[in-house]
Structure 1
Amino acid sequence: MLSRAARPALRAGASLQTRAVLPSSANFATLREIEGRLKSIKNIEKITNTMKIVASTKLNRAQRAMQDSRVYGKTSNGVFESAETKPVEAENKKKLVVVCSSDKGLCGGIHSGLSRYIRREALENPNFDLVILGEKAKSQLQRTNAKDIVLSFAGVGKDIPTFADAQAIADQIVLLPNEYSHIEIVYNKFINATSYEPAVVEAFSEEAIAASANFSAFEVDEELLSNLREYALANSLYWALTEGHACEISARRNAMDNASKNAGEMINKYQILFNRTRQAVITGELVEIITGATASEDM
């Protein structure tokens, strides 16, 4: 039997042991973790909002450049349509496919769409070589079509493409040692600010231009066919690059808009969780205080 003097001390020790077992420290740690995550999501929302504003500003300039480049491309294509130029069919000649992407990401699946198009083409007609503009499409196509890549360019998409950029790329393509039946330029065609699709524009070889049914009406010397072919290739590349750039900026703006909305939803959820967790911690502290006061009165 315990004496009456020992009983209050025993009850006080029991109450201290009970308070030590309560997971108050764990609640505080969880609260700090939620608060830190909430702050990080708010920072992400600020970044995505800023990138959306920047993309919206760049989109107007990109669309103006795209409208200007269409004049080059459509005029060049109009000449070959009037001349009834067609690719030269030859069993021992490959076609060359130029893929217009860029080095930048954070713009949805715009580069993946081009890669999927090339893989579908490889299943139907695998006899082609690849020239890739931009590191994004290159990294995707290297996994499936590495043996077909004969030339690639980096540093694409940093700013609005110019005709000088297209001319420099055309110079390197013309210097390739293989002779191709024709060239297909694959790019993202701008439909509107929210949609785009892969499209193809053709660039013909000197042999195809010379064999055109109505080309003699233009009275072009045969010595100038190489210059005409390279100029037409640069026009088509300029058109494809500017259209692809406008699609990329539009896709990035939409992606950042969606990311900002998702971040806002996450902030609301974490704010509710933070408030509930904080209320639970405060309730736990009040329980501890009341328990301790009750134990002191019993003593």
Structure 2
Amino acid sequence: MFRQAALIAGKQTYPAQVRQYATLREIETRLKSIKNIKKITKTMMIVASTRLSKAERTKVTTGEFAKQEKNFYLNSEVEKSPLTKEGKDLIITITSDKGLCGSIHSSMAKKIRNLLKENSNADVIAIGDKIKQQILRTHESNVKLAFNGVGKSDPNFLEASLISEQILKYIEQSSETYNKVAVYYNDPVSSISFEATNDPVYNEQTVNEAPGLCKYEINEDLSVNKDLFEYALNTKILSAMGNGYAAEISARRNAMDNASKNAGDMINKYSILYNRTRQAVITNELVDIITGASSLD
């Protein structure tokens, strides 16, 4: 009758779909799936918690390598060098290949995208699959070099040296002049927060033009050679990987802890729904039995 009335009105309509209660089997399957997920997230949280202390030690150890370069840049006032405003910018961004660690990778990608909006000519070198995939979606032409297989364990000097070696080869073979190289990484501000920050690396021409370089005893016929730039790049990458690794482990622990708590809340919710549905099924069966017995009388 409803269909005939709709056809007479000149248009076809359909009755609204009514949401049906889930069956006991569906609720039980869902509840079992959530419990399994909670076991996984809780295990991952425990693993991240045990690795966090080692990651913190790695952050401190790798940070010692970059302290001397920071002091040198500060004392020589290299930021005031006239060459820092010339040439092209090179952005080295560091994350890892692993996920399930909250918004740590997406926040870094957002930071790099904002930088590329301000300076669309900057080149990007991505270290880690996560940052590479996200930057390639919007700024494929800016990505010049990418590395993967990082973040599986705590970084070391050999790993950073191999990466910096490939970057130096690219810089030497490139026709562009990079007077300033910025290494972007996630800095663990606290155990529950992180911040995308950067450390600059200046080449030998920029350092030679620094106004405060006279504070150091350097012969007039000599100049700061590229060895300083190569070593500084290596130590900056190592320090950035150490900080990023500690931030990622902490973020993964917090993410898995929150996921476990959310899974616990869902388990309680579905347990109550399962008990209510089960009680309703039993009540309906009792009603059917009593009704059938009454009809037989």
Q: What's the TM-score once normalised by structure 2's chain length? A: 0.86
Matching residue within 201, 213, 220 for 2:199 = 201
Distance 1:222-1:135 versus aligned 2 partners, 3 A rule: farther
Q: Which amino acid aligns with 1:149?
A: V
Shift of 1:204: 0.7
Residue 177 of structure 2 aligns with which residue? Answer: 179
SS at match of 2:180: strand
Cα displacement string for residues 75-127 of structure 1 (whole angstroms, at most 9, x for unaligned residues): 22112222222362454x21100001111111111111111111111222223
2:204/2:224 contact within 8 Å kept: no
Residue 3 of structure 1 aligns with which residue? Answer: none
Q: Which amino acid aligns with 1:108?
A: G
2:208/2:224 contact within 8 Å kept: no
Q: Which amino acid aligns with 1:183?
A: V
Query: What is the distance in 2 between the residues matched to 1:132 and 1:56?
Result: 27
Residue 55 of structure 2 aligns with which residue? Answer: 62
Q: Which amino acid aligns with 1:236?
A: K
Residue 188 of structure 2 aligns with which residue? Answer: 190
Q: Which amino acid aligns with 1:117?
A: K
Residue 21 of structure 1 aligns with which residue? Answer: none
Shift of 1:150: 0.7
Matched, 1:42 2:35: yes
Structure 1 residue ranges (4+ consecutive) displaced by more than 4 angstroms after TM superposition = 220-224
Residue 234 of structure 2 aligns with which residue? Answer: 234
Q: Which moved more, 1:104-113 or 1:79-88?
A: 79-88
Query: What is the distance in 2 between the residues matched to 1:201 and 1:208?
Result: 16
2:27/2:270 contact within 8 Å kept: yes
Shift of 1:223: 7.9
Query: What is the distance in 2 between the residues matched to 1:244 and 1:94?
Result: 25
2:94/2:185 contact within 8 Å kept: yes
Shift of 1:71: 1.2
Q: Which moved more, 1:220-229 or 1:60-69?
A: 220-229
Residue 150 of structure 2 aligns with which residue? Answer: 156
Matched, 1:259 2:259: yes
Residue 270 of structure 2 aligns with which residue? Answer: 270
Q: Which amino acid aligns with 2:42?
A: N
2:91/2:182 contact within 8 Å kept: yes
Q: Which moved more, 1:174-183 or 1:62-71?
A: 174-183
Shift of 1:70: 1.4
Q: Which moved more, 1:225-234 or 1:265-274?
A: 225-234
Q: Which amino acid aligns with 1:252?
A: R
Residue 112 of structure 2 aligns with which residue? Answer: 118
Residue 213 of structure 1 aligns with which residue? Answer: 211
Residue 13 of structure 2 aligns with which residue? Answer: none
2:91/2:183 contact within 8 Å kept: yes
Query: What is the distance in 2 between the residues matched to 1:79 and 1:224?
Result: 12
The structure with the larger Rg is 1
- Structure 1 unaligned regions, length at least 5: 1-25
Distance 1:230-1:282 versus aligned 2 partners, 3 A rule: same
Q: Aligned runs of 1:5-44 on 2, under 5 Å? A: 30-44=23-37
Residue 71 of structure 1 aligns with which residue? Answer: 64
Distance 1:262-1:230 versus aligned 2 partners, 3 A rule: same
2:84/2:206 contact within 8 Å kept: no
- Structure 2 unaligned regions, length at least 5: 1-19
Matched, 1:128 2:119: no
Q: Which moved more, 1:273-282 or 1:220-229?
A: 220-229
Q: Which amino acid aligns with 1:211?
A: E
Q: Which amino acid aligns with 2:236?
A: S
Distance 1:222-1:234 versus aligned 2 partners, 3 A rule: farther
Query: What is the distance in 2 between the residues matched to 1:218 and 1:101?
Result: 39
Shift of 1:272: 0.4
Distance 1:224-1:209 versus aligned 2 partners, 3 A rule: closer
Distance 1:190-1:148 versus aligned 2 partners, 3 A rule: same
Query: What is the distance in 1 between the residues matched to 2:71 and 2:245?
Result: 23
Cα displacement string for residues 206-239 of structure 1 (whole angstroms, at most 9, x for unaligned residues): 1112223343525389587222211111111111
Residue 13 of structure 1 aligns with which residue? Answer: none
What is the aligned-residue identity percentage? 46
Matched, 1:80 2:94: no
Matching residue within 138, 159, 164 for 1:144 = 138
Distance 1:202-1:66 versus aligned 2 partners, 3 A rule: same
